[in-house]
Amino acid sequence: APEVKGAPARAGAQEKPEVEKASMEKGKPQQAANVPAGAPPAPAAKAIALGRPALPEEIAAWNIDVRPDGEGLPEGKGSVKEGETLFLHSCAVCHGEFGEGAGRWPVLAGGQGTLKSDRPEKTIGSFWPYASTVFDYVHRAMPFGNSQSLTPDQTYAIVAYLLNLNDLVPEDYVLSKENFPKVALPNQANFYEDDRETTEKAFWKKEPCMTDCSGEVHVTARAQILNVTPEGDAPKGNLE
């Protein structure tokens, strides 16, 4: 007989939980759910013969991520000047010549000092914590519609230009694998780990108020967009 795995001993033998016994009573138009079979069976002692070794060329083709510590950066370099030429040719149509954004396309430069304002402008210079992300993302997903088309040198050059547009490197800067770790972005220190469980502890309430919870209630604001299918000259959206 073929080797058979994954039949947990408890299935079938399992006592029926109380909950379900109750729900099975005749004459009740209700439906109970049983206990799911539980965690998937522990991996077989014998290794599972699925998947084949990934070849080095294959890993290289897909392994494009770049980390803040420089892991993943390819060999290469590029200057702000080269970057400007490339940017004007491949990027400016959407992001503007100076990264100011055309129409609703993303803004890439400026915005310093706006993060506490009513309308924060979150750019590489004003918001992003790491320069590595610019390299990673531009190579990964830009120009929009032609992803992964930029060479390492081109990407270094464009990142150098974007850093320059954000006043982070001088006009004659040449970015390379070697000096990349030295580039620090100004807003990095302002990121911290999710702390909702402590700073929002008040949202865990055992007994929320049920009756007479407030004084009189009035409408304080109404929907700005009255059509359910908005169209026309609407405000610029904040879905990022």
Residues at the site binding ligand HEC, with contacts judged by CB under 6 A: 90-91, 93-95, 105-106, 108, 134, 137-138, 142-145, 158
Residue placing its CB nearer to ligand HEC in the complex, 122 or 177: 122
User: Does position 227 bind Ca ion by CB under 5 A?
Assistant: yes
| Amino acid code (one letter) for 23 | S
Q: Report the residue number, 179 or 188, with the smaller CB distance to another protein.
A: 188
Report the nearest approach of ligand HEC to the CB of residue 95 (Å). Answer: 5
Picking from 123, 115, 104, the residue whose alpha carbon sits closest to that of residue 162 is: 123
Closest-CB residue for ligand HEC?
91
If the CB atoms of residues 8 and 152 are measured against ligand HEC, the closer one turns out to be 152
What minimum distance in Å lies between the beta carbon of 103 and Ca ion? 21
* Radius of gyration of the chain measured on its C-alpha atoms: 28
* Three-class secondary structure of residue 23 per DSSP: helix
Q: What minimum distance in Å lies between the beta carbon of 96 and another protein?
A: 12
Choosing among a second copy, ligand HEC, Ca ion, none, which partner's interface includes residue 105 (Cβ < 5 to 8 Å by kind)?
ligand HEC
Of 8 and 105, which CB lies nearer to ligand HEC in the complex structure? 105
Q: CB within 8 A of 216, min separation 6: which ones?
A: none
Q: Which residue has the tokens 């040198």?
A: 153
121 residue type, one letter: E
Binders of a second copy among 9-38, rule CB under 8 A? 17-20, 22-23, 28-38
Minimum separation from the CB atom of position 225 to Ca ion (A): 9
Angle between helices 152-165 and 80-90 (to 10 degrees): 90
Least CB distance to Ca ion at residue 234 (A)? 10
Q: Is residue 237 packed enough to be buried (19+ CB in 10 Å), middle (13-18) or exposed (0-12)?
A: exposed
CA distances from 184 to 34, 38, 69, 110, 132 (A): 54, 47, 11, 16, 9
Q: Which residues pair with 77 in a beta bridge?
A: 176
Comparison of 16 and 102: residue with beta carbon closer to ligand HEC: 102
Q: Under the rule (CB under 8 A), what is the footprint of a second copy?
A: 17-20, 22-23, 28-40
